[in-house]
Chains A and B, each alone.
Chain A
Amino acid sequence: MKKIFLSFLVLFTSTGILVAQQGQTYPPLDKSPMDMSYFPNNFPLLKIQGKATEPLTARIIYSRPQKSGRTIFGELVEYGKVWRMGANEATELELFKHARIGDKKIPKGRYTLYAIPYENKWTIIINKETDIWGAFKYDPKKDLVRLDVPVEKNNETTEALAMTFEKRPDGANLIIAWDNVRVALPIIF
């Protein structure tokens, strides 16, 4: 319990919420900045260039913690425990059309994503509870689907957590990469 309290304290302090509550200062820049990836990739840029030939199907909004010299998987992110796969606000997947993940039909809409990493596989979790912070109040009862995906080793180190989409014949893979690993979550449209 003490550990949980401490992590909340660190969390609130590091994100400047305490400062913001005093009403004098605006929120500082996040240490783990937020980012957004669309599928088709770079959809907003393609759109203004008149090059968006395929309809918008998905986007992910996530925050990007950095490796900063640490060993991530098995240490900072413990194996076998629910990980928020991001930082700050829970990672959000928005589907602009109905999709299938694993054996589950996912209606279009907004979802949160979590993962339970192991050395050789990750269990990716799609959950209905949106507009929430991290995985601190993750509720498995709100899961839509869980899917195991294999871990691939990367030769190159990915310093900041990265998420992007990769086209596949029947949809897209959501690529999640950090440190020396990457996984691919198949989303079938």
Chain B
Amino acid sequence: MVLVLLFGCNNNKNTSAQKDSVIVNESPLIPKEAMLNPYAAVDVSPMDMSYFPVDYPQLKMTNSITTPPIMRVIYSRPHLQGRKLFHNLLKYGEPWRLGANEATEIQFYRDIKIQNKKIAAGRYILYCIPEEKKWTIVLNSNVDTWGLKIDSTKDIDKFMIPVTGDNKPIEYFTMVFEKTETGADLLMAWDDLVAKLPIDF
């Protein structure tokens, strides 16, 4: 359905203005008139970026850190707008782009390990195959692409992680890093679900 809507818009030259055809409501934070723009419409699902170490750019600005960053994730933040994740938005067993618009990108500034698998420094995209109790997180090398069409021939590796429900509901999809003893978790939270991908370095 999403693909049909997207490709249905192909004839229109201004593709950037209709990024997520599925999400049509206005963003509560940005006035509707501000989202219209002669150059580039403001996205309904705005992009965001999280670093590890957490808040690295601010730490660098305040001279609180001298080592290079370890990783960052760039993703767009869809919001629920009254919908339920697994009724209106996602389906168990079907790939989900872990975001919106451009494919979610993770950049490692150095080699890292996930579930004992060595991953070389560089840019990758992430997507997810959600199930009720577990998510399969897929690391893929097809960067600079749009999240709706996945080229699984470029999959690098898949990592199965548990997902918990009954957490405090979150309106906007959120990705942040959390320090652990062996590295950091990439924490993914939306609605009442939380999943953590452990990254070691």
Residues 16 to 38 of chain B near chain A (Cβ within 8 Å): 16, 27, 29-31, 33-38
- Chain A residue numbers with a CB within 8 Å of B29 are 29, 31, 33
Q: Is the CB of A131 within 8 A of B51?
A: yes
Which residues of B line the A interface, CB within 8 A? 7, 10, 15-16, 27, 29-31, 33-40, 42-43, 46-51, 54-58, 60-63, 68-69, 72, 74, 77, 101-103, 144-146, 148-149, 170, 172, 174, 176, 189
Partner of A175, one of B35, B39, B149: B39
In the complex, chain A residues whose CB is within 8 Å of the CB of B144: 38, 43-44, 47, 56, 59
A10 interface residue (CB < 8 Å to B): no
Q: Give the interface of A toward B (CB within 8 A).
A: 12, 17, 20, 26-31, 33-38, 41-45, 47-49, 56, 59, 61, 64, 66-68, 88-90, 131-134, 136-137, 154, 156, 158-160, 162-164, 175, 177, 182
Nearest residue, chain B, Cβ from A34: B47
Bound Cα distance A90, B149 (Å)? 30
Task: Write out the residue numbers on chain A whose beta carbons fall within 8 Å of the beta carbon of B63.
Answer: 137
Asked if B58 and A133 make an inter-chain contact with CB atoms under 8 angstroms apart, the answer reads yes
- Expressed in whole angstroms, the Cα–Cα distance for A36 and B144 within the complex equals 11
> A136 CA to B148 CA in the complex, in Å?
37
Give Cα distance in the complex from A88 to B61, angstroms.
11
Set A34, A37, A41, A158: member contacting B46, Cβ < 8 A: A34
